[in-house]
Chains A and B, each alone.
Chain A
Amino acid sequence: MSAPLSATWSAPNDTKALAVRMTGIDKRFGPVRANRGASLEARQGEIHALVGENGAGKSTLMKMLAGMFAPDGGTIEVGGRDVTGWSTAQAIGTGVGMVHQHFMLVPTLTVAENVVLGREPVSVATFDAARAIREVESLCEQSGLQVPADRLVADLSVGEAQRVEILKTLYRGARILLLDEPTAVLSPPEVTELWNVLRRVRDGGATIILITHKLDEVMNVTENITVMRQGETVARMATRDTSPEGIANAMVGRDVDLGVKVAHGGARAMGAPALHVKNLVVRGARVERAVNDVSFAIQPGEILGIAGVEGNGQTELLEALAGLRPAVSGAMSLGERDITALSVRDRGDAGLSHIPEDRHRRGLILDYTIADNLILGQQHRFTSGAAMDGAAVMAHAQSKIAEYDIRPTDPLLAARTLSGGNQQKIVIAREMSKPFVALLAAQPTRGVDVGAIEFIHGELRKAREAGKAVLLVSAELREVLSLSDRIAVMYGGKIVTVLNRADASEEILGPFMTGARREVTA
């Protein structure tokens, strides 16, 4: 057990004026107490991190600050004025703007139109499009957020769309910016760019509150940190006085091992690859060749990591491997068996497991119980005649809940009611407890808390030790580096290089990921 948390209430840097003070905030959603006497203080001209595990109540706290709902108890002060229970319109009017995890943009409108929406410049009762573009361009100039003002939002990359969200709040005069996991969808260069912009906004005297799971970001860009656990504020500290371990311990309430273990090719046996892809071509939704002539082989007991900025064909590659997207040409095999023409179910039965990148869309049926989710994709193995074997489903659920420490432990709870980390544990438990030869793991730790990341990484290593082939796709370069035996970089639908772990680093991979370097290997 680490030092008592009260000791971490070091005096924050308090030379600047207080912009936000939230005290004793309570909020309940039905039986769930999302906030229990939570508090937060942020000053003008600072970037303030709000960290905590999934379900700690961070987003709830911020949504109340943004006026999206009223607290059940406690007070919210902005600029010294009591604003408890205000509306979003009042919040925006007072200069509080929130950039959500999921963008709220109109794809069929241009960047400029989205930015001015709600406050459109008008000349003679009609929308003044030219002025909107001029205003947005000058705002881009001032803030350093570069986006073409006349482009349709539908044509933007994820990073650009996020810049539009930030521009939107700035256009409305936001002096207090709330960002909910802004870097979850960005590539490394885009992240760097975002930090530059936020620092500039901060230096202009604004307050930025950043919800994030990534502790290196917290260390890099913030001045002060508020840590939440189970709805309560458990620590407040100055960034310069703490370390990633100190933050993680406060988040979880116990000591956490963040050490990046360098991979070792443990039980790797040479011979027939467990998963073999040859000259695969896959059509994307918008691109003709989203996966363009990709070949690789993974040995049993090996983790092949795929690094790359999202949208370079990784999703299509995994969907094609899983049987969710047809291959235009090329071949895939699992051990000796050609699976190119097999259905999703047959591939599963042949020994393919798949942790999909979006557990809310594909990996779970959120309204199904934990028990029903633990058999998703294997429902045909839990039948007696036409009927489901309810007893077998429950027995399976109870054993997996215990084995994988899924909480809460009631198998009849809907998956929707679980935290992100526990939801992902359902997926992991399901995919890794059936017999399998190869595992496709897409963004296995996205949006889950530090404790669950530790657990999931352990499970992936265990799979390798057990002689499974693992294909790991992750937007987290550090994750790829810490788990993989070999690392392939995808850019523009092609694998532009494959490196042994010992030869790879963030600096070496970076240029490949942005397309600055390529050496197509056979």
Chain B
Amino acid sequence: MNANLKRTIEEAVLPPLVALVVALIVGDLLILAYGQAPSAVWRLLIDGTWGNAYGFGQVLYKATTLTCTGLAVAMSLRAGLFNIGAEGQLAAGGFGAGLAGLALPAGTPAFLAVPICVMAAMLCGGLVGAVPGALRAKFGAHEVIVTIMLNFIVLALLNYFVSAKLHVPETLHTPEVHAGGLPRLSNLIGVFHGSAANWTIVIVALAAVAAWWFLFKTRVGYELRAVGLQPDAAEYAGVNVGITWRNALIVSGALAGLGGINFVLGYKGYYEDGFSGGAGFLGIAVALVGRNHPLGVVIAALFFATLSQGGLAINAMVPKQIVEALQGIVIVAVATSVPEVRRILRNAVSKSGGQH
């Protein structure tokens, strides 16, 4: 039992740690190339993120969105599918939350308004996820292609709705929501003052726990992971593989959509075109580094949020693009060592290779 646990932990934790070490070494070299001392730059990065309340608040804020998109990608990968559409689903979720907040009359009590807006976000994200899910289940259309293409369609549609129908003049955002706004953490803990961290973090933490429970403790989760590992064996076990795929992408989309409330309800109070800003794509990296485990996703989201916030802090000494390079290195290093990715690549190769 203990030996098993130890091996599981080693298998789960070792690749990301090695990736981190590799990234740090390459980062050292890059910083040296700019004539700066690596230790000073790293110190600055830590000071600017985990070293003060504002920086830490910003890390929490960014990690909240990334946790949602990371959970979304992890959920799909557990079912054997690669959801590249978290970007569009995140935006659609934010739009849904914003619309619900606008539609509700001002003064709706929070205990009604917040759940309604959260549901609207998950519903819109889930709807965007349902399209590739249904196409995959019914026609076998490859979800990677469909989700990538759907990103463009969804983002363009949202842009049209906002710019043509809903925007405040001279801006690309909607008016402020009447109800459903979430308070900042700084209202409760003063030192977070100025940071965007808000109560979304509690909702998302609950979502991560729920995702873990669903995946590893429920019958449907057992069946979903079976489909992801060996669809033929799942079919043998009486699981409808197509329906499982469809449902997994709906849940995946809903999780990404949930991330939209962080900006819309928690930070700005309105939907703004382009707010997703790559957080959906970064969710792929978060899921990979987090090894498709909800706890791993939370840790990986904190890591990527730290890098992203830290990039701003070290900008004075070295270009902030260095942290983007580090992100890339971590992703490549993890992607080449993670079994899930290798299996999906292998399946893709054997499918195109025919019967042998």
Contacts and interface: CB of A to CB of B under 8 A. Distances in A.
Interface residues of A, number: 41
Contacts of B223: 379
B236 A356 contact: yes
A412 interface: yes
A79 B79 CA distance: 51
Contacts, number: 84
Given A105-B356, A107-B356, A365-B230, A377 B236 contact: yes
Contacts of A104: 356
B153 interface: no
Interface string B164-175: 000000000000
Interface stretch (A236-244, A299-307, A381-389, A511-519): A381-389
Interface stretch (A70-78, A253-261, A343-351, A399-407): A343-351
Interface string A99-139: 00011111110000000000000000000000000000000
A67 B20 CA distance: 34
Given A107-B356, A386-B218, A344 B4 contact: no
Nearest to A373: B233
Given A361-B233, A386-B219, A387-B217, A343 B238 contact: yes
Contact of B218 (A105, A377, A388): A388
A107 B223 CA distance: 33
A372 interface: yes
A354 B234 CA distance: 14
Contact of A365 (B219, B220, B226, B356): B226
B9 interface: no
B232 A366 contact: no
A380 B220 CA distance: 9
A380 B219 contact: yes
Contacts of A380: 219, 238
B275 interface: no
Interface size class on chain B is 20 to 34
B229 interface: yes
Interface in B204-243: 213, 217-220, 222-223, 225-226, 229-230, 232-238
Contacts of A382: 219
Interface in B1-47: 1, 3-4
Given A103-B356, A412-B4, A387 B235 contact: no
Contacts of B238: 343-345, 348, 377, 380
Given A108-B354, A410-B1, A362 B233 contact: yes
A154 interface: yes
A258 B232 CA distance: 34
A413 interface: yes
A364 interface: yes
Contacts of A362: 230, 232-233, 235-236
Interface in A304-355: 322, 324, 343-345, 348, 354
14 contacts: A31-B3, A102-B356, A104-B356, A106-B353, A362-B236, A363-B233, A364-B233, A367-B229, A376-B226, A376-B233, A377-B236, A377-B238, A387-B217, A390-B217
Which 5 residue pairs across A and B have the least CB separation, nearest first?
A345-B238, A107-B354, A377-B237, A344-B238, A362-B236
Given A107-B355, A386-B220, 6 more contacts: A104-B356, A107-B354, A324-B236, A343-B238, A348-B238, A361-B233
